[in-house]
Chain A
Amino acid sequence: MSSQPADHEQAFEKRKSGIGVRMTLIYSVIYAGFVILSVFRPESMGARAVLGLNLAVTYGLGLIVIAIVFALVYNHLCRVPPTGGGRKREGA
């Protein structure tokens, strides 16, 4: 086994890890925003947001939907083969 595929694999893992960390940070900020708003501006959570829903329901459901969307986006990004490489499978 040449070192090129191994390097390639390592680079791909590093890239995936970077994507994962960035997406975690983005989600953490959105989640923290929800917690901060609930704690320090609870009255604002009763304000009308979209489709007759208040901000609390919109933000809460949004957090769940965003988590599902992020998961699918992450999976898609992880499927994209790095340049010149095929889709790889990691062994157990």
Chain B
Amino acid sequence: MAIAVFVIFVALILAISAYTSRKAATVGGYFVANSSVPWGVNGIAFAGGYLSVASFLGIAGLIAFFGYDGFLYSIGFLAGWIVALFVIAEPMKRMGTFTFSDALNRNFSRPGIQLAAGLSVLVVSLFYLVPQMVGAGVLVEPLLGIPHFWGVIIVGTVVIVLVAGGGMTSTTYVQFFNGGLLLTFAAVLTIAVLVRGVDTAERPTEEGVAGLESYHFDEIPFEMVEGRPVADLRGAQTTARHAVVDRNTGDETSVFYRVSHLVEATPVDQGTFTANVKGRTARFDQSRAARDGWTMEEHDGHTYVRVAEWFLVVDATGSRGTLVETQSRTTRANGSILVNGAPESGANRPRQMGGIAEIPADLGSRTGPVGPLRLLAVLSDRSTTVLRPRSVAFTSTDGDAVTIFYEERVAGSTFMRPGLMFPLEAREGEPAVTTLLNRLNFISLMLALFLGTSALPHILIRYYTVPSAEAARKSTIVAIGGIGLFYILTMYLGVGALASGAINPETSNMSAPLLARSFGEVLFAIISGIAFTTVLATVSGLIMAASGAVAHDLMGNLLRREVSDHAKVLAGRIVAVIVGVIGIVLGILFRGMNVSFLVGWAFAVAASANLPALVLMLFWKRTTGTGIIASILVGIIASVGLILLSPDMWARYGLDPATAPMPINQPGIVSIPLSFIVLVVVSLATRQRDATPA
């Protein structure tokens, strides 16, 4: 059904593109939809273009995994619209025609301003484009069952047809369509979550039960004997240990043991057996068993296979404690992959997890239908305990690449306040400098989100699709209303996914679709389809912005001659195809890269490169053209440069993140003030030279 809904949505989008393509023949039609989009439509289109997969799937997933810290993105993403409305919207419309460089250059007539602004649009658009395309591929694999690269190619191709064919008009109506769908179905899903309420019941563990198939984590008491846990499992042998060590304090925060035990095998025919491992039937023979590291043993006339699982130690007191089962994925040196001890297959993959272990005693085991504030109050309560999914990846002593997925019991009062993703509190034994850097990183991110929104290229171009500054203001207000409502709903999508045990431990991005699946296949199919239109809407806006930057800002200035309207439209279409193809290639190359990760950086680059120039051009009379050019270029170089020198990038280069020259990941706290300072200093230094008014 997901495929059918996807095909219907794509057909609708292509129909919109075909219908609007005739309006895209002129420069005004292609680049700014003839500035004739009604403000209400433009406002919802703002929302449809701005709410990317990072907002829709990313934030819901982060809330499900990290609680309140995921919601911090919602707050930052929305707060940035205040700057857009109060400072940027109306002046941008009054001063520009096609792109924001028109507004920047209005008082200066310097080709360099348009070149720098065009370059900035290209850089930010690409930063933003890559995660969207990666997100498209990530969605396709589990939802449609086709490979990652096909997802990227399908989305890229549809967007190229959409933008190159229908220009800004089709982009606007696709974003409007997407914005309406997002708001409607996020509300529907939230109402469903509120009606379901919260309960502490264990989720169904059998396949096919309402689409919810969870993992049951067995708990087994143990006693330490000669340094190894001895547990009541048939033929148990402890074969490996892994401890998670706090880098700052040196404490072991979690300890895991690999314990092998015997599972009875049933002969099916000569030399072939089946064994039921955690509800999954594995069929094997001697050679297959050897390949997967299983050993076969005979006891009391029965045949057994020795299966290894990882267990987490909890409640350890003295020599006793409890081993809690985990889920795991193990890649052996010979390439065979085991999931939860058995060979990986279509049926045997990591299963859904997460849930609520305890709620306040006066509520019993379930709340029943609850109001929106009551739900959050129950989850925030000190006596509520949530089971949040966690994972740890390492190489075992025998060379296996292991990822363990386990549930961490966290008090609701901790889950619903900052701290699980951004470690802001000073911990015992932690060096003061580490605490300081963690805090600076957080401040830097929140600064970039606040200042970046109004400087994003695909937001800035939408001020030119409406007829007047008043319409620009009103459409921004509609956007704030729609986006604000949506971000409030993300909280319910995130906590709803956790409370429903609808979490794929391998990817947080699937939390919202899996939550929808817990309510039935129809809602799942619709939410999955909306996820695709979300990618299409955001990517089309980005490609449109890049297309305008090249055709309007860069081409004329680089060719140093007047370019005809027809040539501009043709160039816009060609650039849309080229940028779309680049997006497809990067989306395939960057597979596996975290979606929200890159989006946060795109905000930092936009805030550093564009915002200082926009704000000071409007509010500081001494601003010069040279100052604007210097500020944009320094903003781009500083933000991108600091990103490339950050600990996260150091880890991606295969280096020790602790040795990265830039000690924090978020560049905004350095690059945004630097860009402001450069603009002021250069403007003061070039005031005489640039004094001649245009």
**Interface residues, chain A, CB within 8 Å of chain B?**
16-17, 19-21, 23-24, 27-28, 31, 34-35, 38-40, 42-43, 45-46, 51-57, 60-61, 63-65, 67-68, 70-72, 74-75, 78, 89-92
Contacts and interface: CB of A to CB of B under 8 A. Distances in A.
A92 B75 contact: no
Residue from B72, B86, B97 whose CB has the most chain A CB atoms within 10 Å: B86
A75 B473 contact: yes
Interface stretch (B415-423, B604-612, B623-631): B415-423
A67 B380 contact: no
B369 interface: no
B82 A67 contact: yes
B469 A90 contact: yes
B22 interface: no
Contacts of A51: 373, 377
A53 B374 CA distance: 8
A67 B480 contact: yes
B219 interface: no
Given A19-B86, A53-B377, A90-B468, 4 more contacts: A24-B87, A39-B442, A46-B380, A63-B79
Given A31-B79, A34-B75, A39-B442, A24 B86 contact: yes
Given A27-B79, A31-B450, A60 B467 contact: no
Contacts of B468: 89-92
Contact of B417 (A21, A46, A65): A46
- 3 nearest CB pairs, A to B: A52-B377, A20-B86, A56-B417
A74 B85 contact: yes
B87 A54 contact: no
Given A38-B424, A52-B380, A60-B68, A71 B85 contact: yes
A70 B84 CA distance: 13
B87 A20 contact: yes
B641 interface: no
B653 interface: no
Contact of A54 (B416, B425, B446, B469): B416
B376 interface: yes
Nearest to B86: A20
Contacts of B94: 90
19 contacts: A16-B90, A19-B86, A20-B85, A38-B418, A40-B439, A42-B417, A52-B374, A52-B381, A54-B380, A54-B413, A55-B417, A56-B416, A56-B418, A63-B75, A64-B488, A67-B82, A70-B82, A74-B86, A74-B477
Contacts of A56: 68, 416-418
Contacts of A61: 488, 491
A53 B68 contact: no
Contacts of B414: 46
A72 B474 CA distance: 9
B86 A43 contact: no
Contact of A39 (B374, B413, B443): B443
Residue from A43, A53, A64, A91 whose CB has the most chain B CB atoms within 10 Å: A64
A45 B480 contact: no
A27 B75 contact: no
B83 interface: yes
Contacts of B81: 67, 71
A68 B417 contact: no
A16 B71 CA distance: 32
A42 B69 CA distance: 12
B380 A53 contact: yes
A72 B82 CA distance: 11
B240 to A, nearest CB: 36
Contacts of A20: 85-87
Nearest to B469: A90
B53 to A, nearest CB: 20
A17 B413 CA distance: 42
B93 interface: yes
A65 to B, nearest CB: 7
B284 interface: no
A57 B79 CA distance: 15
A92 B94 CA distance: 6
A18 B248 CA distance: 48
B520 interface: no
Given A24-B86, A90-B470, A75 B477 contact: yes
Nearest to B91: A17
B187 to A, nearest CB: 15
B74 A21 contact: no
B581 to A, nearest CB: 33
A45 B474 contact: no
Given A68-B484, A91-B468, A43 B377 contact: no
B449 to A, nearest CB: 10
Contact of B93 (A16, A42, A46, A92): A92
Nearest to A45: B417
Contact of B78 (A24, A63, A72, A91): A63
B304 interface: no
B416 A57 contact: yes
Contacts of B75: 34, 60, 63-64
A68 B416 contact: no
Contact of A71 (B93, B419, B477): B477
A24 B593 CA distance: 35
Nearest to B467: A92
A57 B68 contact: yes
A80 to B, nearest CB: 13
